[in-house]
Chain A
Amino acid sequence: MSLAMSGPEAPPAPPAIPRAVPIQYGTALLVLVLVTGPLLPVLLQSVLDGALYDAEYNLTLANFARLARTEGFGLVLLNTAALAAMTTVVAQVVGTLAAILFGRTDLPMARLLSEFFLWPLYLSALVLSFGWYAVYGPAGYATLLWQSALGDAPWTLYSLTGMAVIAGVSQAPLAYIYCLSSASITDPSLEEAARVSGSGTFRTLWRITLPLMKPAIAYSAVLNFTIGLELLSIPLIFGDPAGITVLTTFLFNNGISSPRPDHGLVATAAALMLAVVCFLVWLQGRMLGNTRRFITLGGKATRPRPFRLGGLRWPLFILAGLYILATVIAPIGVLVLRAFTAFLSPMIPLAEVLTTANFVQIFDYPVYSRAVWNSFVVSLVGGAIATALIGLVAIIVHRSEFRFRGALHYLALFPRAVPGVVAGIGFFYAFALLPGLGFLRNSIWILVIAFTMRFIPAGIGAVAPMLLQVSHDLDRAARVQGADWWTTSRRILLPLMRPALVGCFTILFISFFKEYSTAIFLFAPGSEVIGTALLQLWVQGEVGLVAALATIQVAVIAVCVAAVRGIFGVKLHG
């Protein structure tokens, strides 16, 4: 038996410096530069009296005092807080009601309704804003319809309330998802007990189900408040014309649109925003810990018996259907319709205005066709590069003996606390400062770099759960047989993570494709993407072209979501 005869075969001797070392340190360094690169200039600039790129400057705290004295800045802060708070209220009320109605009752067609309900999650707030404008704006379809029948429309989008409704409705799916996961996981026996003891449906809902959802409601409220603070598109489109400024539009107007930007002031406001969001994200982390503890108390993931709505079943269905129609189907539908018409009004028959001229025009103008093309390149190539980086980071964090893996994990998740506008300003400074990076500054690669930084946490969130499910024995077996860490990662872990990487790539593709808040600080002629082109066209009043470009974005994302859910069964949220 030759197996027994031959002596042991030593594996190849390990090199003095294992291959893992340069790869792990290199990746960590790259993430470090990527995350701190844009933040350091912002923080530094906020304590300098001159511009960063000037020859001379001094350390000072004067910027903070100047910001506090800036006329109207108090109102800006007040508006920001009010908008975020109102948005949160709308999102939480709608999301919680929807979670109970679609998830816990015998409402007809609840699955279909919830599919539609989730749609705003996939679209950019920018596109949704245009949709709302097309339906409920001053010359919107619904507004005109109302006017022709009942006189002046009682609503306006150009107010804090109007903006909060748009933002709240588009963020309600987040509250919905969190509430649903808690409502369906918590122990149904508690509800059953209440019902057996004679408590009516609504009493049980109010006294038992709702309190059980409290941790989820609280967590998603902080999440939605944070997103409400970071909102750019809605205040830009509806706030600015009405003279309502919030922190993001303040940064945008003073940092980008102004011919002589006051860098000290902009950086200080950005640093302030960074600090607030950091605190909120820290709060989210703490609350999530508590939520988990609360949820696992329930143990089994049995599906609770749905509540019977009885006679209210159909009235509630109609109500829910109207809501979906008014907030999801109408804005998107009318926007798409607008893209295919020269003019849209309830007074004019549709057949007379149907046209493809908007799309023809988009592809006739090199600027706009280039924007579409750039969006694809940034999302496909950038998404692929970012997926590779994220996969590597996840493996180092979860499957290596790298000394600083804890720090790397923290660093990789930190961009959650960096608002898009702050990242945009930060990268803008970073690239203006560093010599030799000029060639990047006017190309789409600066966008790829900035987007990658922004969405590392989302990518990690898509990859890590799967990686944690892969048994440690599988990579340990490879190590024992003579494979070093890198070979093990490449030959064993990466192939096993393929579905998660596909999910990660899709999430990044969609996120990159709809991103605008970082891009508007960074794009240059030649490196426009759909998001920036939309804003430019909007400023020029080209509503038809805006609708056409937005339709392209919606269509691409819809195909993407459908494909991934159909083919790979990957969940894109939650």
Chain B
Amino acid sequence: MADLTIQGLTKRFGGVTAVEDVNLHVADGEFVTLLGPSGCGKSTTLAAVAGLDRADGGRIQVGDRVYFDAARGIYLPPEARSCGLVFQSYALWPHMTVADNVAFPLTLRKVSSAERKRRIEEVLALVEMERYAGRYPHELSGGQQQRVALARTLVYRPAILLLDEPLSNLDAKLRDRARAWLAELRTRLGLTTIYVTHDQIEALSLSDRIVVMNGGHIAQIGAPQEIYEHPADPFVADFIGTTNFLPARVLGEASAGGRALLELADGQRLEAVAERPAAAGSRVTLAFRPEQMHVAPPGARMEGGSVLATRVTSRSYVGGQWQVGLDLAGAALRLEARQPPTEDRLDLWLPHVGGILFRGGADVAA
């Protein structure tokens, strides 16, 4: 096992820049997740680490082995890197049984047949697939294939483990089970791992740190809680589950940590704690998660928050509760409520603390 250093990684496909200036250090035994929307360059980054695509610039080092260094013209072919890569498609070889699939990397390493047999048994037991050794991939379910793909990678003890959306082909229920299983396995093995996903729940529950990517760049790196509670920009906030954005103008200036007085487009006012200083007159965007907002009882003034008049645009039952669409000064909000609203107008309670204030107008959250 070893640590991984990526410096200034850049990869272009023709005129398209898929990844630009990515810098990342993954410590020995650390589990880091690349999170981001489709096409943001997650797979491209993994492929560059595994050596499947030759990057255009930058440097990649694992332990004391330099995998790639554009400046010095170093490029190790994938077979010389000892990475373990589990593909989104699993890529099990259809003409080989489970045991043959797992045996392949050992045969390449000239492991004696007795030792090979022992290790295949061991790794199949680890992924709880020992009963399926004689089956062909097409005779397995998606979840079972995923385990075999993992076993095939673990069996040769790779220096680092790269997982490209390993759960995305499973149905919701199986994915929950597989995630729990993976979390347990990860604490047992302690491999240096990069995990790619665009599922924020997977990212939050599995990772030591999360790398949020956007358009080939790194938007933020941090521990799950940090990313969730202190997103660096509206994009990260949006991606990590904050779905309500309110464009506003700062009336009363606020220093870092202080309260700012904001005015919405329709003249309603509210207060919010600003983590970063916001100048009077500047345009800002206030972000809330659905669970932070509540319906205010009619006519009530509530402590610790602001009450705002909104218009109801939609209501739908989502099991156990209602999802209510609101229009507040031209911004579309989503609220979770126990009861469906009975009227077209609704008073909304927003806490002073807990929302996140970003600089910039409505377009930053788009």
Contacts and interface: CB of A to CB of B under 8 A. Distances in A.
A292 interface: no
Interface stretch (B18-26, B155-163, B169-177, B339-347): B155-163
Contact of B77 (A4, A8, A18, A471): A18
Contact of B80 (A3, A7, A14, A495): A14
A10 interface: yes
A296 B302 CA distance: 63
Contacts of A4: 188-191
A10 B82 contact: yes
B126 A13 contact: no
B1 A479 contact: no
A34 to B, nearest CB: 30
A482 B154 contact: no
A471 B79 CA distance: 19
A560 B52 CA distance: 42
A207 to B, nearest CB: 43
B157 A8 contact: yes
Interface in B295-345: none
A449 to B, nearest CB: 33
A159 interface: no
A473 interface: yes
B209 interface: no
B244 interface: no
Nearest to B94: A496
A477 B152 CA distance: 10
Contacts of B190: 4
Contacts of B76: 14
Interface string B81-106: 11111011101011100000000110
A3 B77 contact: no
A476 B126 CA distance: 25
Nearest to A475: B91
B156 A473 contact: no
Interface in A462-484: 471, 473-474, 476-484
Nearest to A484: B79
Given A7-B157, A471-B91, A482-B156, A491 B85 contact: no
A483 B93 CA distance: 14
A482 B108 contact: yes
A474 B156 CA distance: 18
A474 B94 CA distance: 9
Contact of A7 (B1, B51, B88, B154): B1
Interface in B108-140: 108-110, 122-123, 126
Contacts of B95: 495-496
Given A7-B157, A11-B79, A479 B104 contact: no
Among A476, A482, A495, the most chain B Cβ lie within 10 Å of the Cβ of: A482
A500 to B, nearest CB: 13
Contacts of B108: 11-12, 481-483, 487
B37 to A, nearest CB: 22
A56 interface: no
A495 B190 CA distance: 36
A478 B104 contact: yes
A222 B166 CA distance: 50
Given A3-B123, A477-B91, A482-B105, A11 B80 contact: yes
Contacts of B109: 9, 11-12, 482
Given A4-B189, A11-B79, A473 B157 contact: no
A479 B82 contact: no
A496 B80 CA distance: 24
A6 B157 contact: yes
Given A9-B82, A478-B104, A3 B50 contact: no
A257 interface: no
Contacts, number: 105
A18 B87 CA distance: 26
Interface string A99-122: 000000000000000000000000
Nearest to B77: A14
A1 interface: yes
A2 B52 CA distance: 29
- Chain B CB within 10 Å, residue with most, of A3, A478, A479, A480: A480
A422 B152 CA distance: 53
A492 interface: yes
A481 B50 CA distance: 10
Chain B interface secondary structure, helix, strand, loop or mixed? loop
B291 to A, nearest CB: 39
A22 B50 CA distance: 25
A487 B79 CA distance: 11
B78 interface: yes
B153 A481 contact: yes
Contacts of A473: 87-89, 91
Contacts of A11: 79-80, 82, 108-109, 156
Contacts of B66: none
A473 B153 CA distance: 14
A8 B85 contact: no
Nearest to A470: B94
A481 B104 CA distance: 8
A3 B104 contact: no
A399 to B, nearest CB: 13
Interface in A314-364: none
Nearest to A481: B105
A21 to B, nearest CB: 12
A8 B189 contact: no
B188 A1 contact: yes
Contacts of A476: 52, 78, 85, 87, 91
Contacts of B191: 4
A1 B105 contact: no
Interface string A486-519: 0100011001100000000000000000000000
B202 to A, nearest CB: 21
B2 A3 contact: no
A479 B77 contact: yes
Interface string B43-87: 000000011100000000000000000000000111111111101
B149 to A, nearest CB: 8
A2 B1 CA distance: 13
A79 B159 CA distance: 72
Contact of A477 (B80, B85, B123, B159): B85
A398 to B, nearest CB: 16
Contacts of B81: 480
A483 B89 contact: no
Q: Which of B79, B81, B110 gathers most chain A CB within 10 Å?
A: B79
A8 B156 CA distance: 8
A14 B105 CA distance: 15
A377 to B, nearest CB: 31
B148 to A, nearest CB: 12
B52 A492 contact: no
Nearest to A20: B77
B110 to A, nearest CB: 8
A8 B91 contact: no
Given A14-B79, A479-B77, A482-B82, A9 B157 contact: yes
A495 B96 CA distance: 10
Counting chain B CB atoms within 10 Å of each CB, which of A14, A481, A487 scores highest? A481
Contact of B79 (A1, A9, A482, A491): A482
Contacts of B158: 8
Given A4-B189, A12-B108, A479-B78, 15 more contacts: A8-B1, A8-B157, A11-B79, A11-B82, A473-B89, A474-B93, A474-B94, A476-B78, A477-B93, A480-B81, A481-B84, A481-B156, A482-B82, A483-B108, A496-B94
Interface of A: 1-4, 6-14, 18, 471, 473-474, 476-484, 487, 491-492, 495-496
**Closest 6 interchain pairs by CB?**
A473-B91, A477-B91, A8-B159, A481-B105, A479-B78, A480-B85
